Structure 1
Amino acid sequence: MTSPFRCSAAALRLPMAGTAATDAGFLLVEHPGPWGNKALAESRLVPDEARAALAAATSALGIRVQLIRRPGERGAPDAAFRVFLAHPASGRLDVQQLDDRAALADLDLALDVRGAGWQPYDGSLLLVCTNGRRDVCCAEFGRPVAQAAAAALPEETWETTHLGGHRFAVAVLTLPDGMSYGRVDPEAALRIGEAARAGAVVPAHLRGRTSYPPHVQAAEVALYEQLGVTAADAFVLTGDTTAGGQGVVTFRAGDGEHVVDVRAREEVPARQSCADLTTKPSTTWRASVRAPAGSD
């Protein structure tokens, strides 16, 4: 018998650095399910007018909407629910409680300042993509990871809808740092959750920082891997001359400036998800850290 096709297994040879979705911010809406392929658009809990207003507002601001639930949570929702607003570029994570899902249409979604109704959230979040309606890999492999992470990190761990890149399942996002991870197993999920709590990253599974474009993500991941540092705020982006698929990205760190050469590579067309029978091209990035000036 032929084994069913799994996009994440077929993509194991692909490098992950630079594959994170790029988003200015994240709005997380507590929503027990069920979730459709297009989770917000197909929500049975959010009124039509609120869905439309929220989709328009978040799209204009570059905010990704994620539905979230506690691992294993199903059934009718409570009247009150929480929403979180994250701005990874500033490291801010806010929360508020709502009693009516129609109120989602009126949220203050400003990212540069703390908007009305929001309160600081003192903690980190570990989001595990488990949206099986979007891709079977996310449910088949993601749910066991979410359950295992929740057993050790119950406050931080949430199941969530599509994070982008189910070929790299299990996909995980940490907030407020906005770090995207792939090929996460239960043990790695625990390390990632504990690292996020401590303001650190796990380079071995890192796809990139979601507030950066793909080539800058790849450059930063290369620095983490080569220099062996793990602090989430270890590097400050100072320059980017990338154009036409190649260039130079520069970061400042405590020990000086680091220069990374980046180059795009067009991959052989392949199936991008388990359900998609067509093949499509994709781009990955190669990054090389230059030796410091004056070194041998």
Structure 2
Amino acid sequence: MVEPFFCAEESNTAGEDLIGCAVMAQFYVLVECPPPWSANAFHSNQIPDNLRTLVQALKQDKRTIRPLLIHRDRRQEPFTSVIILRQQDGVSFGYSKQEFQVSSLEEVAPLVSDYFNECHTHEPIETDTRDILVCTHGSHDKCCAKYGQPFYRRAIATVAQLALNPDVRVWQASHIGGHRFAPTAIDFPEGRYYGRLDEDSFTAILTRSGNTQCFNRVYRGWGILPWAAQVLERALLLKYGWDWFKYGIVGRVIDHNEDESWNRVEITLVRADHTSEVYQADVVIDDNKKLHLHGSCGNTESYAMPQYVVKHLTKLAASAIP
């Protein structure tokens, strides 16, 4: 009898580093919609035609706009939530959030269209919640069901045990990428991506306490940064510890070669008192760690999965930002 194959088990057993795989997006559009979801979430039966059409248009937009379906367990409410997150300009702490409520899924497309056309016809509700999206999209990849769905239930219990309700909401989410790192999650409004989460690492992330070394195991990267800058950002997070989460940052890739096996990256951190520090480093392929993995439960062939390391980390300057 052939044992069932799970890409997350293969990746974990191989010791694949998950840093640098957070999706970089300027906007997220989160639409509340109960499962089941089809493999392509916005092709699900309950999605109205006008919303499917809008999602196709958003994919063609010159801005990077990422639509996702979300759902959370709660008593039946007479409204549908729509959350739009926009990446902060300049020195960034993540995303700015606006949340809207409509009476049905048919009303989502006009609202979102008006938002991106800067027609402010809908009033957002007052909210300052932290929203954790856990991928449970098993029809897209079975690892999201096998690992994501049980973790979603545990995450709800953990938030309750820590008495973080209603300030922290946990949502099921459609495919967010990186299913081989399941269970995966995004922490909004920061927009940090995580994988291979368990109760201990999730508690540390929620409370910002404990040993930050867990980020070596569970941190996929910060979605406001290019992938190579995500690798350097983790190194700085480990250097500064939990204080790192108090800082705004600006990150960029200064230079890279054609195949991006070498990248020169710069990150500026900015404190509340407007003092700053600038770091540069090379993010390069780790020649000592060569992996070939399937990457997905549905793939029949394996592919090279390059691993990256930070070299030549240099602190360039400390200055005051007006």
Q: Same fold (TM over 0.5)?
A: yes
Which stretch shifts more, 162-171 or 118-127?
Answer: 118-127
2:246 and 2:87 map into 1 onto residues whose CA distance is: 11
2:72 and 2:213 map into 1 onto residues whose CA distance is: 23
Q: Normalising by the residue count of structure 1, what TM-score does the alignment of the two structures yield?
A: 0.85
In structure 1, the partner of 2:49 is 48
Amino acid at match of 2:184: A
In structure 1, the partner of 2:310 is 287
Q: Secondary structure at the match of 2:88?
A: coil
Residue 290 to residue 201, structure 1, CA distance change in 2 (3 Å): closer
Q: Secondary structure at the match of 1:232?
A: helix
Amino acid at match of 2:284: R
1:180 and 1:55 map into 2 onto residues whose CA distance is: 25
Do structure 1's residue 63 and structure 2's residue 86 form an aligned pair?
no
In structure 2, the partner of 1:39 is 41
1:235 and 1:248 map into 2 onto residues whose CA distance is: 21
Q: Secondary structure at the match of 2:236?
A: helix
**Identity of counterpart residues, as a percentage?**
24
In structure 2, the partner of 1:247 is 263
Give how far 1:134 is off: 1.0
Do structure 1's residue 26 and structure 2's residue 28 form an aligned pair?
yes
1:28 and 1:215 map into 2 onto residues whose CA distance is: 26
Residue 130 to residue 238, structure 1, CA distance change in 2 (3 Å): closer
Residue 258 to residue 53, structure 1, CA distance change in 2 (3 Å): same
2:121 and 2:310 map into 1 onto residues whose CA distance is: 41
Q: Normalising by the residue count of structure 2, what TM-score does the alignment of the two structures yield?
A: 0.78
In structure 2, the partner of 1:173 is 186
Give how far 1:184 is off: 0.6
Which stretch shifts more, 3-12 or 232-241?
Answer: 232-241
Amino acid at match of 1:146: Y
Amino acid at match of 2:3: S
2:208 and 2:126 map into 1 onto residues whose CA distance is: 20
Which stretch shifts more, 242-251 or 275-284?
Answer: 275-284
In structure 2, the partner of 1:84 is 83
Instruction: Tell me, yes or no, if the aligned pair for 2:101 and 2:125 is still in contact at 8 Å.
Output: no
Instruction: Tell me, yes or no, if the aligned pair for 1:19 and 1:284 is still in contact at 8 Å.
Output: no
Q: Which has the higher helix share?
A: 2
In structure 2, the partner of 1:256 is 277
Do structure 1's residue 123 and structure 2's residue 129 form an aligned pair?
yes
1:168 and 1:182 map into 2 onto residues whose CA distance is: 5
Q: For residues 49-83 of structure 1, what are the alpha-carbon distances to aligned partners after superposition, in whole Å with 9 as ceiling and x for unaligned?
A: 32112331255131111111115x89xx7652111
Aligned length: 287
Residue 104 to residue 286, structure 1, CA distance change in 2 (3 Å): same
Give how far 1:148 is off: 1.2
Q: For residues 165-216 of structure 1, what are the alpha-carbon distances to aligned partners after superposition, in whole Å with 9 as ceiling and x for unaligned?
A: 11111111011110001111133223323449xxx99734211111211111
Residue 281 to residue 193, structure 1, CA distance change in 2 (3 Å): same
Structure 2 unaligned runs (5+)? 90-94, 160-164, 318-322
Instruction: Tell me, yes or no, if the aligned pair for 2:156 and 2:170 is still in contact at 8 Å.
Output: yes
User: Which one of 102, 111, 133 corresponds to residue 98 of structure 1?
Assistant: 102
Residue 163 to residue 181, structure 1, CA distance change in 2 (3 Å): same
2:278 and 2:179 map into 1 onto residues whose CA distance is: 34
Which stretch shifts more, 264-273 or 87-96?
Answer: 264-273
Amino acid at match of 1:8: A
Amino acid at match of 2:302: T
Give how far 1:250 is off: 1.8
